[in-house]
Chains A and B, each alone.
Chain A
Amino acid sequence: EAGVTQFPSHSVIEKGQTVTLRCDPISGHDNLYWYRRVMGKEIKFLLHFVKESKQDESGMPNNRFLAERTGGTYSTLKVQPAELEDSGVYFCASSQGSGFKSYDEQYFGPGTRLTVT
């Protein structure tokens, strides 16, 4: 079974440009998460989709970031316009969603390394 995939693996853009990151979750997983790690910091939560709905977007840094999940399948994260501080590794994760009192494991993709110059 294919894992979580992310595209591109690396993106270098100039400040002010727009970049769109894509995440394809594991087939059948209702939950999709975006996280980000900036240099020297811990991985931080950005937002959580349940199917096509945003369940929690409390970690989104500002309105330059827009996440969508069309039809509850793949998700995109757009940064417009990009700033230098947006550089980092963006991880996507997906989980099945148990609905029970047990841990719903999140499976992570390899990440997209974004460099804003």
Chain B
Amino acid sequence: QKEVEQDPGPLSVPEGAIVSLNCTYSNSAFQYFMWYRQYSRKGPELLMYTYSSGNKEDGRFTAQVDKSSKYISLFIRDSQPSDSATYLCAMSPDDKIIFGKGTRLHILP
């Protein structure tokens, strides 16, 4: 079983829709849960991070962590064409980061 499972997509939604991305994981030692965004030919860029369980909101983005279910989510409200990118969930037990495969997201104008 992989440490982090993420549906690679692609996921296509119309502009303005709510996007839901999620990952499951197996390692209970993970303490930090992150979402990265990666545009083509660029490196991953941190969107949000959460320590342990709970919700975190930043503008149109909301991250949720449910440690009891080993499940994390990212919600994007009022999606824009500029949100089209690959979104990677990531987790960290210590200094190194364990990534999911990433979900390719297309926001259709």
Residues of chain A touching chain B, judged by Cβ–Cβ distance below 8 Å, are 4, 31, 33, 35, 41-45, 48, 55-56, 59, 91, 93, 102-111
Chain A residue, CB-CB nearest to B2 = A42
A36 vs B41: C-alpha distance when bound (angstroms): 14
| Chain A min CB distance to B86 (Å) | 11
A103 vs B2: C-alpha distance when bound (angstroms): 24
Chain A residue, CB-CB nearest to B46 = A105
A94 vs B2: C-alpha distance when bound (angstroms): 26
When distances are taken between beta carbons in the complex, the residues of chain A under 8 Å from B71 are none
Chain B residue, CB-CB nearest to A10 = B41
When distances are taken between beta carbons in the complex, the residues of chain A under 8 Å from B96 are 33, 45, 48, 56, 59
A56 vs B98: C-alpha distance when bound (angstroms): 14
Across the interface, do A109 and B43 meet the contact criterion of CB distance under 8 Å?
yes
Contact of B44 (CB < 8 Å), options: A43, A44, A102, A104:
A43
